[in-house]
Amino acid sequence: MCGYAGYLIRGAEPPGERVLHEMADVLAHRGPDDRGFYARKVPRTDIHVGLGHRRLAVIDVAGGSQPMSTDGGRLWIVYNGEVYNFREIRSSLEEEGVRFRTRSDTEVVLELYRRRGPRMLESLQGMFSFAIWDARERILFAARDRLGQKPLYYYHSGRRFAFASEIKALLRLPWVPRKPDLDLLPTYLTHLYVPSPHTFFRGIRKLPPGHFLIWKNGRIRVERYWDVSFAGDSPMPRWALARRLEEAVREATRLRLVSDVPLGAFLSGGLDSSIIAAAMAPELRPAAMTFTAGFDRPEFDERSHARRVSRRLGTDHRELRVTPSSLGILRRLVWFFDEPFGDSSAIPTYLLAKMTRPYVTVALSGDGGDELFGGYDRYRAFLASLATDRVLPTSLRQAMGEAVREAPPRPNSGPAERLAVRWLRGIDRPLIERTIRWGQGFSAEGIARLLLSPEDEKERRDPSWFIRDRWERAGDGDAVHRMMEVDLHTYLPEDLLTKVDVTTMANSLECRSPFLDHRLVELAASIPRRWKVGPFRSKAILREAFSTSLPRRTLSRKKKGFGAPIGDWFRSTASGLLKETLLGDKARSRGLFRMDEVERLIREHQEGVAHEHRLWALLFFETWMQEAIDRPPSLTPPPEDGVS
């Protein structure tokens, strides 16, 4: 894993060596092991090129320094990620006469581009983002992996183009504005993240997953090179698919064990992480290492389940206890994330990565299993809503939905009741509206109450435009499969994979996700939905595939998200932080929110109504405004305050 940054400038002076160094060094957490730079004026042109790189050495520790060039210096690459099949590609290229100078996958990517051009992406199996400068053709080619595990941000304005692994590197350039895009505030409040290609900074964009970018003559072109649709059309019988699925998971895991440094795995005790640990454990000697985080609240704590799996697999297991004082990392998280991020599970994920890093440099995870095999409760709720459509008259469903939407929130309701209420609120709505409602933070009604709306509110873009776009692209197949496909292309990369990338790389830890092998994703997409999600069970075929590898209690466990008891913290030790931040003078002076509505959310939460996700989103946003907008960003992250 690594971090990189660079620029291309036509007809203007470059920013200077110090700025290029700052662009790379602000990413030192992504690459503490090495740094390198390339800066040139292209002969007989007015083009200036700058590349900077920070390296976390995982493969070919001694020989993989960057920026790396081909013989003669025509092509230069800065690269972040791992290509797991690089040895096979290398052998193929050697048969074509290529001679390699290093053992790194970076050089393989570079040489493959020299011979295949953009088509080289078809051959890569892994997680990556990179940029290749072709000095002869005066073209920059940049790409991001299929599922969006590794990020790529860029800024383009007239004669200037810049790109980086994180936004903070772009902000070191004097001509990149540091202005929030408040038009995206409704989207953030609805979904708790900002979707590609947007960011919360005006002018700064994210390259979407499965896309590449070409810069030439001051212009850029962005194209999609990969996609997947949940057709569920495999002709194979169920038993054969289950066997093929097990083989594919084990093969994807073996590929992700290629490393010159120690490896381990995150183990929550849930089905997905347990399967990855089970596939990993026989491959590592003397014993695979596993890591888990837990809480004092039993309904959030999975440490006992992780211990059970660890004993079955014989792993060397480590545990972390997360306490309310962990909120002391909030300002630090804001620095690493660069833009508002409303998923509070970033706290335990960051602390788990921090605990893991002293033992290993690479950790495997179970990310992607829920989206591919139907693990979320909302999929079964969606299936139930389809059944009610068939048996209940439209008028009755409308009456039920209106009654629940108008009812005041009930204090101290449990997760099951909250899911039922969310289900009933969408029972009379179109399927796409149900998909949006079951995955949202603030509802449209809640946002209308919260925002001090500008005069042109009616012209504001639909905050769920990207969900609707993907829903339409998913076609007219099985409705639950459509919902899963939407999540795979939106919630997974924009929330979950962003969270994992940021929090692990903040601790100089590489995270690999076998379920996100694109061949495994394509296999999963071909499996009929009825073998994944039913009225009473999820992930049926995945459980079947690993039925002999894990404890029976693990195979039969219900889904439990990796969340923190932040609702309790907001009612106790963090209540002061919440009020001081959200109701303070700085927040009031922005003129963005109705303060009486913010006060109501805090008060109701204290009384037992579950507003923790909405309050966390507001807390992160206001802290981000203070840290990233109100003051110049620092080259280094703030300290962790009061973490134990």
pLDDT at 32 over 70: yes
Question: 403-434: per-residue pLDDT in tens?
Answer: 877 666 777 777 777 777 777 877 888 999 98
Average pLDDT of the residues of the chain: 92
Question: 368-398: per-residue pLDDT in tens?
Answer: 999 999 999 899 988 988 988 888 888 888 8
List all residues 6 or more positions away from 245 whose beta carbon is below 8 Å from its beta carbon. 523, 524, 527, 541, 542, 545
CA 130 vs CA 77, 141, 210: distances in Å: 7, 8, 13
pLDDT at 643 over 80: no
What's the order of all strands across the beta sheet hosting 362-364? 316-321, 289-294, 263-266, 362-364, 510-512
pLDDT number for residue 63: 76
61 in Cβ contact with 116 (< 8 Å): no
DSSP assigned state of 9? E
CA atoms within 13 A on the CB side of 578: 26
Give dist(CA 213, CA 221) in Å, integer: 6
The pLDDT of 611-635, averaged and rounded, is 95
625 in Cβ contact with 338 (< 8 Å): no
Q: What residue ranges in 256-315 does DSSP mark as E strands? A: 263-266, 289-294
As a whole-number percent, the residues of the chain with pLDDT over 70 amount to: 97
CA atoms within 13 A on the CB side of 134: 18
pLDDT number for residue 132: 98
Is 2 a known active-site residue? yes
Q: Mind giving me the DSSP string for 335-377?
A: HHH-S----TTHHHHHHHHHHHTTT-SEEE--TTHHHHHT-SH
Strand partners, 497: none
User: Phi and psi at residue 9, in whole multiples of 5°?
Assistant: -130, 130
480 in Cβ contact with 533 (< 8 Å): yes
Farthest CA pair distance, the chain = 74
| The residue type at 165 | S
As a whole-number percent, the residues of the chain with pLDDT over 90 amount to: 75
Q: Which of 2, 162, 360, 484 is catalytic?
A: 2
Q: How confident is the model at residue 58 (pLDDT cuts 50, 70, 90)?
A: confident
| The residue type at 221 | R
Higher pLDDT: 460 or 121? It is: 121
pLDDT number for residue 406: 64
pLDDT at 286 over 90: no
pLDDT number for residue 642: 55
Is the full-model pTM beyond 0.75? yes
Q: What sections of 158-197 are H helices per DSSP?
A: 167-170, 185-191
- Token readout for 515 is 């379920």
Question: 306-356: per-residue pLDDT in tens?
Answer: 999 999 999 999 999 988 888 999 999 999 999 999 999 999 999 999 999
Q: Mind giving me the DSSP string for 13-54?
A: ----HHHHHHHHHTTTTT-BSEEEEEEEEPTTSSEEEEEEEE
CA atoms within 13 A on the CB side of 577: 23
Q: Is the dihedral of CA 487, 493, 494, 495 positive or negative?
A: positive
DSSP assigned state of 610? -
77 in Cβ contact with 67 (< 8 Å): yes
Q: Which domains does the chain have, with CATH numbers?
A: 2-224 (3.60.20.10), 228-644 (3.40.50.620)
Give dist(CA 56, CA 61) in Å, integer: 9
Give dist(CA 367, CA 353) in Å, integer: 15
Question: 236-265: per-residue pLDDT in tens?
Answer: 999 999 999 999 999 999 999 988 888 999
